[in-house]
């Protein structure tokens, strides 16, 4: 008879991390840009507030 816990056997890995809210601060005017429907990384975007273009690097720091 083992005294080991069997809790580990019940752990199943999740398959999807669903992101509900994405926002980026415009590097020109610092206005918060949100409402993204796709991953904005690795692309150029135009600020909704000041109209200037900026790039979101693919390896940008992600803050939760
Ligand atoms: Zn801006």
**pLDDT digits over 6-26, tens only?**
667 899 999 998 888 899 999
Query: Rounded CA gap, 40 and 59, in Å?
Result: 11
* Higher-confidence position of 1 and 17: 17
Q: How buried is 15 (Cβ within 10 angstroms: 0-12 exposed, 13-18 middle, 19+ buried)?
A: exposed
Q: State mean pLDDT over 39-61.
A: 96
Q: Contact, 34 vs 22, CB < 8 A?
A: yes
The Å distance, Cα 54 to ligand 1 centre, comes to: 9
Q: How confident is the model at residue 20, as a pLDDT?
A: 85
Instruction: Calculate how far, in angstroms, residue 9's C-alpha sits from the geometric centre of ligand 1.
Output: 50
Model pTM score: 0.71
**28-33: Cβ within 8 A, 24+ apart:** 28/52, 28/54
Q: How far is the CA of 24 from the centre of ligand 1 (A)?
A: 10
19: CA distance to ligand 1 center in Å? Answer: 23
Report how far ligand 1's centroid is from the alpha carbon of 17 (Å).
29
């Amino acid at each position: 008879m083992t005294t080991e816990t069997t809790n580990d056997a019940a752990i199943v890995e999740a398959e999807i991390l669903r992101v509900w809210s994405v926002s980026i601060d415009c590097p020109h005017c610092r206005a918060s840009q949100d409402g993204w429907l796709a991953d904005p990384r690795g692309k150029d975007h135009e600020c909704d507030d000041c109209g200037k273009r900026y790039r979101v690097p693919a390896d940008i720091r992600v803050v939760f």
